Structure 1
Amino acid sequence: MKLVYDHSNELVRFGVEQIKKSLENRGIYYAEQYALYTAAPAPKKGIVVQLLAVRSGNGAAAADPKVLEQYEEQAFRLIRIGELYRIEAIDARGLMYGCLELAERLAMGKAMDEGEEIYRAPLLRMRGIKFNLPFAPFDSGDPFVQNEETCLDLEFWKSYIDMLALNRYNCLSLWSEHPYDIMVVSPKYRAANPYSDDEIKRNIALFRSIFRHAASRGIDIYLFTWNIRITKEVAKGLGLPDAVGDYGDMYSHLIHRTGVTFNRFRAESLLIQDYVREMVLQLLLTYPELKGLGTSASEWMDGSGYEREKWIVETYVEAIEQSGRAIPFIHRTNMQNAGKEIKELVQTRFNKDDFYISWKYSNAHGYSHPEPQFEQLWNAWEGIDLASTNVLYTVRNDDVFTHRWGDPDYVRSYVKGMAKPYVKGFYWGADGYVWAKDFQHIDYGHKTWRYDYERHLFQFQLWGRLAYDPDTQEKVWVYLLASMYGDEHAPIFLQALRSASAIIPAVNRLYWLDYDFQWHPESCLSEVTGFKTIIDFVNGKPMPGVGVQSIAEYAAQEKQGRFTTANLETPVSIISLLNTAADKTEMLATELTQQLGELSCSHSACTLYDLHAYAEMGRYYACKFSAALELHRFGQYGEQKYREQAVQQLENAVLHWEKLGYYWGLHNKPYFMARVKRMFGYPYYLNDVRADIELVRQYEGVQR
């Protein structure tokens, strides 16, 4: 078999490497022919990877306008004629994705039928990752502290970026409150950089290598900052008091938005403004592979919307213009709507295709409902012409950090819901977690991987692949999981993961709090109140705008005997869903345990513990929601039997929490959470779970 491709193109070369691996695994020999264009007649047998173009008069390559009409960016066409396979596209990313498609088809057995033609184009143009760097991180905690060394290791980044490319991502957004001192240096402000000259050279070399490797895999790098944030070391280097770089407890009465003495000073300081402008300029000059920048005009800033946007223009925008580079700029809208100030002051400084508005699509809880309605509920686009504005969604998973998650149906619905005319793509990730070093899992027993993303690989595969091709077939997921679980058991693991992954979204729909510091459902913890008690659940509200009825509303209608629950998801249906999902998950996990026997090891053994834990988590929340409903009935009727039934539900909840802690403890160790500011580990909160029973015994009803 002959392989004909452009060896000089790194993206194509990476794609072809995957084809070669599949051929080698099947014992198929091949010969390679390097060619930019196939001028000679194509071989009758083999694989031709071709960028569709024509030769212009001066010998340079130019795309044929007629061909351009038939292809979208990042799209590919795969054709089989006899024993010849052709992969065609109008850009290198499309060719790479075509190669990846053929490589997987070869690996799965039968690649294509005779005469078959496949065309694929991305559902969403940008498919990205939100990666919070542990350098000047958004918050403190083990996810950042434990990853400082890993995120300075080029081998990690190469492995991670290769994984992203294989799963059709094309964007890696790196987030830091103050990335400048670790990434760049300027003679103008040398004293503001605490690193030695050798350390600065080492850091720049590292990030250049990361960015170049990303470029070789079709991954665009975006750098996001929290605008005006500086560190104590920078403040000192600028000749300012250390306190200018001290921000205190960021969520103490939301002081990062208003009320901090130095917020106004930082915004009005011409020195700080010039420093930030110079650092942004140096970033763009130092890293030509850096695709774009993102920031907001909210956290750590004070003043009117006009004043804050003016500061963004006079720092970020002017630095971009000074660099001479035309780069994409992403303006986040957290804690503000898009607003006329963004439109009038910032958007007008960019070409249409280079300016994006970013919106938190599900707030902090991507695992809740696949069609969140916060844009409408919060009037996100008031005053904005969506016909001339590009929107990117931020999708946050601040729900599940420990147990594996994987439901193709949920992600498929979610990405299809994002595919609106004005939406150009998304990036997903967490504010409170970093999937780099696996610091949670005990380093013995069945652990055979190094990085946390390897443990949670299926989750990454789902978001990238379905955002490119939402019609990805079931057999692909089975094939991907077979590398971890084996061909025979992969289909059952897929069904078990599907079932288990319905639990957290159901919990979020019935008990909703917007932000990650308020609520982490995997642990039942909050920075604000600690362990969420039964009283919190009694007073809880459902996810707004998606047709979920609250426990209070259901109990009131139950007493009246008049239900208006048509097209609504009720507390009773969610409780039933949780119990059904728990039962099915446990049944499948038990079946797998019996089938695997002594072969239960590595990812199989680890996932089985996760599945059993999910089953107990689902039952725990089902009991807690049921107890909350019984307490509302107690408030409606005043009959002690309802309080007694609530007590019984919570006594059962204690048993399920104990089992949840048992399965978690078989292969995990505790860690200090970043956003919730609590130690993660179920046994530590067993007394809180038991205390719910006493709270019910003392409960006298909702205060009216």
Structure 2
Amino acid sequence: MKKCFLLIIYLIGNISIANCSDIISITYNTQLEQLSFAVNNLKEQLFYKGKQLRINEFKSSSGEKDILIITKGDIQNPFDTMVAETDFEGLKSEGYRFKRVNNSHTLLVLASDEKGSAYGVLELKEHLELNPNLKEIKDKVVNPAFEYRIVKYNLPWSPYRSNPATEIHTHISRDIAFWEKFLDMMVENRLNVLSLWNNHPFPFMIIAENYPKASPFSEDEMEEWKTFWKTLFRMAKLRGIQTFIVNWNIVVSPEFAEAYGVNEYNDLSDVVKKYTKESVTQMINEYEDLTGIGVTLADWMGNFGEKEMTPQKREDWIEETIVAGMKEANRPVKFIHRSVLAGDPIAMRELIDRAGLEEPALVEIKFNWSHGHSTPKLAITHDYHSGELDDRFWNPIPENYRIQWMIRNEDFFILRWAQPDFIRAHINENAKEYVNGYFIGSEGYIPAMDYSHKPSPIKTWQYAFEKQWMFYKTWGRLLYQPDTPDSYFIHQFELRYGEGKGAPLLEASKLASNMPLRLASFYRSTWDYTLYSEGFIEAEPSSKTEWFDRSSPFISIDQLINHETLDPDMISIVDYSKKTMNKEKIGSDQITPLALAELSENDSKRALELIGPLYSQTNEYSGALESELDDISTWSYLGIYFADKLRAGVALQDFRNTGDIEKKKLAIGLLEKCLEHWDQVIKYTKDRYNPTPHVSTQRYGENFTEFSWELLRPQVKRDIQIAKDSK
């Protein structure tokens, strides 16, 4: 008879598993759905490794167990004598503890709730990927750093940004097969909330009882929509993922506007208020697995002209519609209150006070506006007024809400990105008492169809989020556990691409991924169109300036010279040139354009050195490795381009200040080198990526309806002429 190894997982109140050399025994409460989902996931992995997972229900408590899973307070648990109350001390929601039982083979997994137990099982799965020996699992406690780890997903119907870059995702965003993979990715990466955003969700979810003409769908069509939503919300709940529907205000459907004689936007009439309130109630009642609802003081709450609403009137409208509708529903739900420029923290606090929520509200604040992938220092938010941050959102510390930083990504949609050191620094800088979560996501990008990549043998993934797998993995895992070491991410690379490749891939990814962070930190931007880092594009200026060139979205040398910085420690080119001309002292903690150029070039060249040897190994494993390497190369040459453009900007501005012709010659030479760097970017992208519809460039006419690096080459070359023409 083979000797068995016993592992017990104890979720405050439940016990699981026993293990032999070929058979692992797990014992847990099989009535817990989220936990059962995780166990079945483990069972599938073990099957492919030639092992069997034997599942025991609690009532079958006899015999040796490898793994015993117990959730605190589970009334089904017959193993109370094995675990003390003190074993659960210090465990937060979604946390877990691994503990050996009296030096036996049994491993307990203890958790305060079902989600914690499921996460414990997922870690067991990850351990077994690396090491098949359960005996080597050490006693430990794992707790989430943030309660809310949220994905922002913009829906392509009734979209905030209506354009080809949005519409192309409509079919996939209604495909349950897509959502199954997306939700599985979220669980794997410990992302625990899916927030779904569009202008006006109700016509796609309900036929309003008193306003049936609000929806364009027949009863049969609405049944199809309901099946989709219920399946999605159920799938998410099974995986321990909360779901929120978030809308903009004040909007109704075109059908509602026509049928009931109102405006589609900015209509403050009683009929729109009544319809909105009743729709909120009906939606909550009809979708029992929906976690909550969100609302934003946004563009269509009378921002302009005679209908402009004061912050207080905006909150009053939300109270009379969204909050009132929530109160009349047959169950409580959670509430997201998005904070934007149009709001006021005092009016918002008072609204949340009156809402009478059972759980603290979620207040989302954009970190550094629409460009969270910049400096980890909080420089601006969407509530930014008169050059100062409004700290009244968190001062004094709120009692009935907590803040979640929105890390909006409007800066890279095509190239892969992974910089765990940046995420760690961000968390270390901004994990305040009043913060309990993060949002990650975009407004102009939906991670569904990967329409940018050309069909190719190296395209081994189906969906866009699968190509950006390390973006979600680094953000999700570090928000859950900030001390997750680099060794974990190295191992994830090696699982995909083979032993020995993980360390150089991770280090090169880090170095190359600094490029967009540095550009966004140097080039101060606010809303969505003010920067697209991977394209070196500014489609709309942050403020009206004489130097802004409306003939092209490309950031010209003049724009780079004159633009202010976002990071307060950085010095703009125009200010740096003036200081050096006047021989002013520059602080030791300040980052000059030339110092930034040096950092960008050094990191980029080192990344290219690290991945050079890996190109000869791309045929051994997934063809996706070649695409990973090409993306790192692209970022690297963009980083070298940025470095020489910074140097050229300093030289050109010095010439303009002093008349030194040698400075002008230097600038021209550097910009000619920039064109060579850009040609390298084209080399690594032209054959892989299609010219891609992009939300921010379409206002520039027929020449800029799509984005590609090759299409911008004339603008890169134009910089040389700007320098030559300078006087």
TM-score by length of 2: 0.88
Match of 1:32 in 2: 55
Q: Separation in 1 of the partners of 2:523 and 2:136?
A: 53
Match of 2:410 in 1: 398
Match of 1:230 in 2: 252
Q: Separation in 2 of the partners of 1:114 and 1:233?
A: 62
Match of 1:621 in 2: 642
Q: Separation in 2 of the partners of 1:457 and 1:115?
A: 27
Match of 1:73 in 2: 93
**Superposition map of 1:7-26 within 5 A:** 7-26=30-49
Match of 1:673 in 2: 694
Whether contact under 8 Å (2:370, 2:409) holds in the other structure is yes
State the AA in 2 paired with 1:625: L
Match of 2:161 in 1: 139
1:47 is displaced (CA, Å) by 0.9
Q: 1:413 aligns with which of 396, 407, 425?
A: 425
Q: Separation in 2 of the partners of 1:332 and 1:675?
A: 23
State the AA in 1 paired with 2:284: L
- Secondary structure at 2:97 match in 1: strand
**Superposition map of 1:183-202 within 5 A:** 183-202=205-224
Residues 156-193 of structure 1, C-alpha deviations (whole Å, 9 max, x = no match): 11110111011111100000011111111113111121
1:46 is displaced (CA, Å) by 0.8
State the AA in 2 paired with 1:275: Y
**Superposition map of 1:441-456 within 5 A:** 441-456=453-468
Is residue 2:274 matched to residue 1:274?
A: yes
- Secondary structure at 1:135 match in 2: coil
Residues 558-579 of structure 1, C-alpha deviations (whole Å, 9 max, x = no match): 2233432211222112101111
State the AA in 1 paired with 2:578: A
Q: 1:4 aligns with which of 27, 36, 46?
A: 27
Q: Choose 129-138 or 365-374, whichever is displaced more.
A: 365-374
Residues 481-531 of structure 1, C-alpha deviations (whole Å, 9 max, x = no match): 123211222222112111111111111111121122111111122332412
Whether contact under 8 Å (1:337, 1:381) holds in the other structure is no
1:352 is displaced (CA, Å) by 6.8
- Secondary structure at 1:48 match in 2: strand
Residues 224-276 of structure 1, C-alpha deviations (whole Å, 9 max, x = no match): 11121223233113234xxx33xxxxxxxxxxxxxxxx63xx12x11111121
Higher RCO, 1 vs 2 (CA within 8 Å, ≥6 residues apart): 1
Whether contact under 8 Å (2:498, 2:621) holds in the other structure is no
Whether contact under 8 Å (2:215, 2:255) holds in the other structure is yes
Residues 582-606 of structure 1, C-alpha deviations (whole Å, 9 max, x = no match): 2112212221113x06437521111
Q: 1:513 to 1:442 in 2, by over 3 A?
A: same
Q: Separation in 2 of the partners of 1:298 and 1:126?
A: 23
- Secondary structure at 2:499 match in 1: coil
Q: 1:693 to 1:311 in 2, by over 3 A?
A: same
- Secondary structure at 1:323 match in 2: coil
Q: 1:33 to 1:598 in 2, by over 3 A?
A: closer
Q: 1:618 to 1:299 in 2, by over 3 A?
A: same
Q: Separation in 1 of the partners of 2:201 and 2:181?
A: 22
Q: 2:632 aligns with which of 611, 621, 628?
A: 611
Q: Separation in 2 of the partners of 1:101 and 1:601?
A: 25
Q: 1:169 aligns with which of 191, 206, 220?
A: 191
Q: 1:538 aligns with which of 536, 549, 561?
A: 561
Q: 1:482 to 1:21 in 2, by over 3 A?
A: farther
Q: Separation in 2 of the partners of 1:70 and 1:345?
A: 34
Q: Separation in 2 of the partners of 1:203 and 1:382?
A: 38
1:83 is displaced (CA, Å) by 2.4
- Secondary structure at 1:442 match in 2: coil
Is residue 2:326 matched to residue 1:320?
A: yes
State the AA in 2 paired with 1:514: T
Q: 2:237 aligns with which of 204, 215, 230?
A: 215
Whether contact under 8 Å (1:609, 1:663) holds in the other structure is yes
State the AA in 2 paired with 1:53: G
- Secondary structure at 2:31 match in 1: coil
Match of 1:461 in 2: 473
Is residue 2:315 matched to residue 1:309?
A: yes
Q: Separation in 2 of the partners of 1:631 and 1:271?
A: 60
Whether contact under 8 Å (1:327, 1:354) holds in the other structure is no
1:426 is displaced (CA, Å) by 1.4
Is residue 2:100 matched to residue 1:46?
A: no
State the AA in 1 paired with 2:575: E
Residues 315-341 of structure 1, C-alpha deviations (whole Å, 9 max, x = no match): 101100111332221111111454221
Q: Choose 129-138 or 417-426, whichever is displaced more.
A: 417-426
State the AA in 2 paired with 1:128: I
Is residue 2:378 matched to residue 1:356?
A: no
Q: 1:697 to 1:299 in 2, by over 3 A?
A: same
1:115 is displaced (CA, Å) by 8.3
Q: Separation in 1 of the partners of 2:91 and 2:235?
A: 27
Whether contact under 8 Å (1:650, 1:693) holds in the other structure is yes
Q: 1:427 aligns with which of 439, 447, 453?
A: 439
State the AA in 2 paired with 1:378: L
1:55 is displaced (CA, Å) by 4.6
Residues 340-382 of structure 1, C-alpha deviations (whole Å, 9 max, x = no match): 2112234322337332322111211122112323369422426
Whether contact under 8 Å (2:346, 2:392) holds in the other structure is no
Q: 2:126 aligns with which of 90, 100, 104?
A: 104
Q: 2:671 aligns with which of 647, 650, 655?
A: 650
Q: 1:690 aligns with which of 717, 720, 727?
A: 717
Whether contact under 8 Å (1:392, 1:425) holds in the other structure is yes
Whether contact under 8 Å (1:585, 1:614) holds in the other structure is no
Match of 1:630 in 2: 651
Whether contact under 8 Å (2:522, 2:567) holds in the other structure is no
Q: Choose 111-120 or 519-528, whichever is displaced more.
A: 111-120
- Secondary structure at 2:716 match in 1: helix
Is residue 2:399 matched to residue 1:381?
A: no
1:220 is displaced (CA, Å) by 0.2
Residues 646-704 of structure 1, C-alpha deviations (whole Å, 9 max, x = no match): 1111111111112212211121101211244341111111111111111222234xxxx
Q: Structure 1: where are the runs of 5+ without partners?
A: 246-261
State the AA in 1 paired with 2:396: D
Match of 2:573 in 1: 551
Q: Separation in 2 of the partners of 1:95 and 1:383?
A: 33
Is residue 2:500 matched to residue 1:477?
A: no
Q: 2:594 aligns with which of 572, 576, 579?
A: 572
Q: Separation in 1 of the partners of 2:363 and 2:43?
A: 41
Q: Choose 144-153 or 341-350, whichever is displaced more.
A: 341-350
State the AA in 1 paired with 2:31: S
Q: Separation in 2 of the partners of 1:364 and 1:101?
A: 34
State the AA in 2 paired with 1:524: F
Give the share of equivalent positions with the same residue, in percent.
25
**Superposition map of 1:484-523 within 5 A:** 484-523=496-535
1:417 is displaced (CA, Å) by 2.7
Whether contact under 8 Å (2:72, 2:112) holds in the other structure is yes
Q: Choose 19-28 or 116-125, whichever is displaced more.
A: 19-28
State the AA in 1 paired with 2:172: T
Match of 1:257 in 2: none
Q: Separation in 2 of the partners of 1:578 and 1:600?
A: 31
State the AA in 2 paired with 1:650: L
Q: Separation in 2 of the partners of 1:115 and 1:360?
A: 40
- Secondary structure at 1:83 match in 2: coil
Equivalent pairs counted in the alignment come to 669
Q: 1:451 to 1:189 in 2, by over 3 A?
A: same
Whether contact under 8 Å (2:26, 2:65) holds in the other structure is no
Q: Separation in 1 of the partners of 2:558 and 2:224?
A: 53
Q: Separation in 1 of the partners of 2:93 and 2:176?
A: 30
Whether contact under 8 Å (1:127, 1:170) holds in the other structure is yes
